[in-house]
Amino acid sequence: MNDLEMLWDLQETEKRAQKIKWEFKNLDSLKNLEEARLEFKEKEKIIKAKKDDINEDKKKLRRLEMKNQEALGEMEGIKKEMYDEKGYATKELMQMEKKVQSLSQENNKLEDLILQEMENIEKKEEEVNKDLKELEEHQKHIKKLEKIWKKESGDLKKEYSKLKEKINKLRKEVPRDLLDKYESIKEVSNYNVVAMVKGDICMGCKVSLSSSVVGKLYTPGIRLTCENCGRLIFLGEGKGSSSLKKGNNML
């Protein structure tokens, strides 16, 4: 493999490494996982808000129950006084009876409110329990997505590691002056520094080269650029071509 073939191999290997880095950040499995995790957090917030609401309802229920107990206690106290034979006047007894009736009505209203509040709490708790079951299922779904992401990202990491090893090896083998030139222009050229020539076609820009340029490519050690795209070019057929094709298929 000549110098330009090695440089081309380095270029294509780095291209693939860059693509893997992009793929790693843009895996659909990662996006799905992040969306599922975000949805999980939103569901947790909603459930917490519902639980807080239930707690407020329970406080309200306790207040109603205490108020009802107070009304019952006061009513029982008045009834006891009425029947204690303390010699209350008729007018006083009538006033006490009215008070008992008023407290009884209040008690009935409070009991209705308590019943309504209990039903309301029960309904909300059922809803929260349903949400919790859905949250549990959602958590299982997240675990499945995590497995998929770990598998896909793990495969990419393994491939990237192998490519980095190959890149480091090629960098040691490519002549320093050629490597420096490659490094100086690879970013602006989007890793399109060197191209293979098949027949008389530059595979970088797909334009036919002049016969004189193609002829010169057979000269050992010569460095030429494409007349159209300016890439360094080398013959992709003949000596060394089979190894390049094999390497290209791997990428």
**β-pair type (194-198, 232-235):** parallel
Distance from C-alpha of 18 to C-alpha of 24, rounded to nearest angstrom: 10
Structure tokens, 4: 């330009």
Residue 81 is predicted with a pLDDT of 81
Which domains are seen in the chain, by residue range? 22-172 (1.10.287.1700), 192-250 (no CATH)
Helix (H) or strand (E) holding 233, with range, is strand 232-235
Which residue blocks in the chain are alpha helix, DSSP H?
A: 3-25, 28-82, 90-173, 176-185, 211-216, 241-250
Assess contact for 191 and 231: CB atoms under 8 A.
Answer: no
Closest to 202 measured CA to CA, from 213, 188, 191, 190:
213
pLDDT band at 247 (very low <50, low <70, confident <90, very high): very low
Q: In this predicted model, what pLDDT tens digit does every residue of 64-81 receive, in sequence order? A: 999 999 999 998 988 888
Rounded to a whole number, what is the largest CA-CA distance in the chain? Answer: 136
For residue 86, what pLDDT is reported? 65
Beta bridge partners of 208: 201
| Structure confidence by residue, pLDDT tens digits, 144-179 | 999 999 999 999 999 999 999 999 999 999 999 999
Query: What's the predicted TM-score (pTM) here?
Result: 0.68
Q: Is the pLDDT of residue 59 over 70?
A: yes
CA distance 33 to 28: 8
| pLDDT tens digits, 76-108 | 988 888 777 666 677 888 888 899 899 999 999
Q: How confident is the model at residue 250 (pLDDT cuts 50, 70, 90)?
A: very low
- Sign (positive/negative) of CA torsion 86, 92, 94, 99? negative
d(CA 103, CA 200): 107
Q: Are strands 201-202 and 232-235 parallel, antiparallel or unpaired?
A: unpaired
Task: Fill in the amino acid letter for 100.
Answer: V
Where does the pLDDT of residue 249 fall: very low under 50, low under 70, confident under 90, or very high at 90 and above? very low
Angle at 9 between CA 6 and CA 14, to 5 degrees: 125
* Selected residue with higher pLDDT from 94 and 240: 94
pLDDT above 80 (res 37): yes
